[in-house]
Amino acid sequence: MISLRQTLTERYLNKKPTFLNMKKGKKISGGRYIKSRKKKLNEIAGQKRIVKIGEEKRKTKRTRGGNKKTFFLKAKFVNVQTKNKKEKTEIKNVLETPSNRFLAKQNILTKGTIIETNLGKVRITNRPTQEGVVNGILIE
C-alpha cells in the first residue's frame, strides 16, 4: 500500500514549477487578466509642450467645460518680482534647470529654471506650459 506522503512527493516531483508554466497576461489558474476599460478622452495625455526662448508665440486650447487655456510655445520676456516692485524684462539665456540639466542646454523654460536677464539671475516661479506667462523672482 502506498502512503499518502509518497503519493504527494511523486506528484510534486513530476510537476514543473509554476513559474515555468505562467504565461504573460494569464493567472495561475489559466484565466486572463482583462483591462477594465479604455482611457476616456479626458484621461488621455496630450502632446508635450515645450517653451523655448524666442519671439513670443502663444497657443490657445479648448479645455474641459468649454474653457480656454493659453500656453506659451516661445517666450521672450519675464515678469520679475523684486523687493518692492514688478518689472518686465527680456530673457537672455537659461543658466540651469534643477529638474533636468539637459533642458538647460536646449534653452527650455520650466518651473524652477534659473535664467539670465538684464536685472540679473531670475528663478521662474510659475509653469509657462500651463499659464501662458512667465513670472519669476530675482535671485541675489
What the chain holds in terms of domains, given with CATH numbers, is: 43-138 (3.10.290.70)
Distance CA 139, CA 50 (A): 24
pLDDT digits (tens, 9 = 90+) for 71-88: 889 999 999 998 889 999
Handedness of CA 22, 28, 32, 36 (dihedral sign): negative
pLDDT for residue 20 is more than 60: no
> What cell does 16 get?
514543473
Distance CA 93, CA 9 (A): 73
75, with CB counted inside 10 A (0-12, 13-18, 19+), is buried
Residue in 69, 52, 54 with CA at minimum distance from that of residue 110: 52
Q: Does the pTM exceed 0.75? A: no
Residue whose cell numbers read 509653469:
127
